[in-house]
Amino acid sequence: MIRDITIGQYYPVDSKLHRLDPRVKIMCTLLYLISLFLFRNIYGYIVATIFLVSVIHISKVPFKFIVKGLKPIILLLMITVVFNLFLTKTGKVLLEFWILTITEDGLRTAVFMAIRLIYLILGSSLMTFTTTPNALTDGIEKLLWPFRKIKLPVHEIAMMMSIALRFIPILLEETDKIMKAQIARGADLENGNIIQKAKAMIPILVPLFVSAFRRATDLAMAMEARCYRGGDGRTKMKPLVYQKKDYIAYAITILYMAIAVIVGNI
Amino acid sequence: MSMIKAENLIFEYEKRDNEGNVIGVRRAIDDICLDIEPGQFIAILGHNGSGKSTLAKHMNAILVPNGGTMWVDGKDTKKEEHIWQVRQSAGMVFQNPDNQIIGTVVEEDVGFGPENLGVPTDDIWKRVEESLASVGMLEYRYHSPNKLSGGQKQRVAIAGVVAMRPKCIVLDEPTAMLDPNGRKEVLKTIEELRRKERITVILITHYMEEVVGADRVIVMDQGHIVMDGATHEVFSQVEKLKEYRLDVPQVTLLAYELKKRGYPIPDGILTTEELLKALVVCKKIDKAEENSQNERISFKREEEEPILRLEHVNYIYSPGNAYEKHALKDINLDIYEGQFLGIIGHTGSGKSTLIQHMNGLVKATDGAIYYKGENIYSEKYNLRQLRNNVGLVFQYPEHQLFEMDVLSDVCFGPKNQGLSDEECKERAIEALQLVGLPEKYYGVSPFELSGGQKRRVAIAGVLAMKPKVLILDEPTAGLDPKGRDEILDQIAYLQKAGNMTVVLVSHSMEDVAKYVDRIVVMNKGAKLFDDVPKAVFSQYKELEKVGLAAPQVTYMMHALWEQGIAVDTQATTIEEAVESISSALKK
């Protein structure tokens, strides 16, 4: 069930996009997301579509795989469309029945909004498809580095994220094992109302928490034993250094943004 | 200068009540003096709770003594300014392979230590490569640690320590959670490191076979050092070792028993070869005729309906995608009432998957399973009822405890069966008595018990459901030898006294040989052997090919036979072997 969601997954192929510095991918995705809200006419959307399609092409991630990422937001998408469609009262009336009216403006905003949302998801999931969780954490750490001046524990946040990534699969497996063990002891996890179901989770959650804490204590000790003492004085095995291709990527994205904004506001 | 030196070391754990007030202390280390020379291989033995892990944590300054002084490479661990130097010169490897790997990629994890030390980037890469090569894991450098076996994970952990260029490595029960293959891998790695890199190695363990190659053995008990000397010296004192709840290798035990009977055998025999040499000197005998006492005992009962029957069971993991794996291949198995069955195989052989079929937790891709003649896959079959009848105790079952006190936790099963509160309690008490847990613990939180006690509670939790068949997945994993024997004796008692059918899953032949009356050997998802223990062990050469080993005694007996001494090669226990050897030598 959890495994069906493709958002946030890494797709392991080797492409130009995969090899970019994670900071570039984070920043450019951010710029792209902002750009989606800066144009108002159809030309802007055309420019965005061209940009998105060519980036997807460069990424070598199959289009089908990316589209799968839209599944979990279908409901959200439908709600947005319905609201925009029926609640916009301005513009020429196209259709009227019972208390519902569809206007030209409403139709346009609904379609644009849907496209915007889809592009948003496609763009950001493209970033996670092409960047390993580790690289992403490194990128975030480096990007947030200046904020240490205002006492933001940047290194600690990044370390927490990477430890979480390391232990998620372990804890998933453990949950599975505990569930099986309690079922073997006669636990009923499927039947009953919400309260009964919540209660049935206790024999699973308590051991899971106990185990997580035990692992945390062990891990903390192992980290200390390997001389971990926070971010100060630490060197990096894989330091992030901008290459020529990274600057080119920045340039392309900014160029796209400029064109989209200019064309989109004619 | 000594590598590690302790003088009158004392360490106390504080016991606190719920408000955090100190209500008492427990002395884990009591006045220890120790001096370890650089370059040595030291083994520290002791049962769980003997203080050996606490001592190890002092060598890495994770703990600092309450009294006395510990010097590592000449530096006092109590001094704040020395702490990082101490940790760098004495690296530490822990028991649980999962909980000490920090990186999500192997090479990044190995780089973690050097990163912390502030080593320049180029140098980190060099160190990572070198240390991964030294443990033989270089080809796995881009892998995720989650995809590695236990032994491989421990080797990565060792590489992570080696990359910090320590003078000494302290390994705290590095093999306790591994299967025999993993144990071999790790021990070989340690041995190689010692030879090539000349690192001081301190190995903490409760398996005595692992320390045969050590220069010096230290035995701890109740916070004291009770034995300290060359390996042969320490191993010659069998009685004393047993007293300290340690497990003497079968060969040593055999030599000791034979010596007691008056044979001129030297003290402290450690390997099969040594004993063989000593025995051949005893008497040369012409090659005996084929053994006549080879009567065939069969476990099959033709006239009886099996309590559990598996017919052509196949199981395929995630069919149709890249992770597809044929975990069980055409398994046929009849288990009869009252039988004590051992299932043996190493990690990944399919033994755990197999037992999860027996109570319907996992549904076979193909094939049928019958409980008392009824197909459990038929539409109206009550699977919950099946789970009441076929109790399954998982590996590390204490990890499933969750209630506030022991008694309520054991009541969980019966409660799910819909029994009244009194009945539940009655059943729980009965089950706790069966596993031999003293009554004073009934009201205690299960999390306050010792490892062995927790396991008993967890087993009681399944027993309270009054199963007809009891399946246990590695019930002795992580216990010390004494704890292991206690649990196995208890299970054997349950099987006999309660006339229960017991299925015991294990990767240790020696554990199983003593108890079961039938062994199923699993390999790569298929059944390799299914016979009485003697018959299975006589195939010891085949077993070796699949990475399993027969008990040491089997090897000894075969070696003797080849030397022309007319022993019974089918002897599997020490007692049988002693009898057979002494009668053969008398002839």
Strand partners, B333: B310
What is the pLDDT at residue B356? 93
**C-alpha span between B239 and B247 (Å, rounded):** 11
Residues 6+ positions from A231 with CB-CB distance below 8 Å: A154, A155, A156, A159
**What confidence tens digit (pLDDT) does each residue in A139-163 have?**
998 999 888 888 889 889 988 988 8
Look up residue A110 and give its two tokens.
Answer: 């609904």
What is the pLDDT at residue B534? 84
Categorize the per-residue pLDDT at B323 as very low, low, confident or very high, splitting at 50, 70 and 90: low
Q: Please indicate whether residue B547 or residue A126 has the higher confidence score (pLDDT).
A: A126
Residue B411 class from Cβ within 10 Å (0-12 exposed, 13-18 middle, 19+ buried)? buried
**What confidence tens digit (pLDDT) does each residue in B520-546 have?**
999 989 999 998 888 888 888 888 888
CA atoms lying within 13 Å on the CB side of residue A25: 27
Contact B270, B552 (CB under 8 A): no
DSSP letters spanning B405-471:
SHHHHHHHHHHHTT--HHHHHHHHHHHHHHTT--GGGTTS-GGGS-HHHHHHHHHHHHHTT--SEEE
Q: Cβ separation of A236 and B115 shorter than 8 Å?
A: yes
**What confidence tens digit (pLDDT) does each residue in B118-136 have?**
999 999 999 999 999 999 9
Buried b or exposed e, range B256-273, using 16+ CB within 10 angstroms: bbbbeeebebeebbbebe
Q: Cβ separation of B108 and A182 shorter than 8 Å?
A: no
**C-alpha span between B372 and B309 (Å, rounded):** 8
Stretch B90-114: mean pLDDT, rounded? Answer: 92
**C-alpha span between B383 and B359 (Å, rounded):** 8
- For chain B, give the mean pLDDT: 87
Chain A CB within 8 Å of residue B116 CB:
yes
pLDDT(B291) > 50: no
Domains and CATH numbers, chain B: 34-247 (3.40.50.300), 251-294+552-586 (no CATH), 339-363+382-531 (3.40.50.300)
Residue B548 class from Cβ within 10 Å (0-12 exposed, 13-18 middle, 19+ buried)? buried
**What confidence tens digit (pLDDT) does each residue in B200-216 have?**
999 998 888 888 889 99
What is the pLDDT at residue B367? 92
CA atoms lying within 13 Å on the CB side of residue B45: 29
Stretch B424-441: mean pLDDT, rounded? Answer: 91
Chain A CB within 8 Å of residue B320 CB:
no
Q: Cβ separation of A226 and B384 shorter than 8 Å?
A: no
What is the pLDDT at residue B406? 94
A188 contact residues in B (CB cutoff 8 A): 384, 416
Give percent of chain A above pLDDT 90. Answer: 31
Residue of B246, B95, B102, B248 whose CA lies nearest to B178: B95
Residue of chain A with shortest Cα separation from B387:
A184
Look up residue B105 and give its two tokens.
Answer: 């990629």
**What confidence tens digit (pLDDT) does each residue in A173-192 have?**
899 999 999 999 988 887 77
Categorize the per-residue pLDDT at A8 as very low, low, confident or very high, splitting at 50, 70 and 90: low
| Partner residue opposite B416 with nearest CB, options A134, A188, A224 | A188
Q: Cβ separation of B118 and A234 shorter than 8 Å?
A: yes
Categorize the per-residue pLDDT at A2 as very low, low, confident or very high, splitting at 50, 70 and 90: very low
**What confidence tens digit (pLDDT) does each residue in B226-240 have?**
999 998 888 888 888
pLDDT(B285) > 60: no
**What confidence tens digit (pLDDT) does each residue in B332-372 have?**
999 999 899 999 988 888 898 999 999 999 899 999 999 99
ipTM: 0.86
Strand partners, B24: B15
Give percent of chain B above pLDDT 90. Answer: 45
Categorize the per-residue pLDDT at B166 as very low, low, confident or very high, splitting at 50, 70 and 90: very high
pLDDT(B290) > 50: no
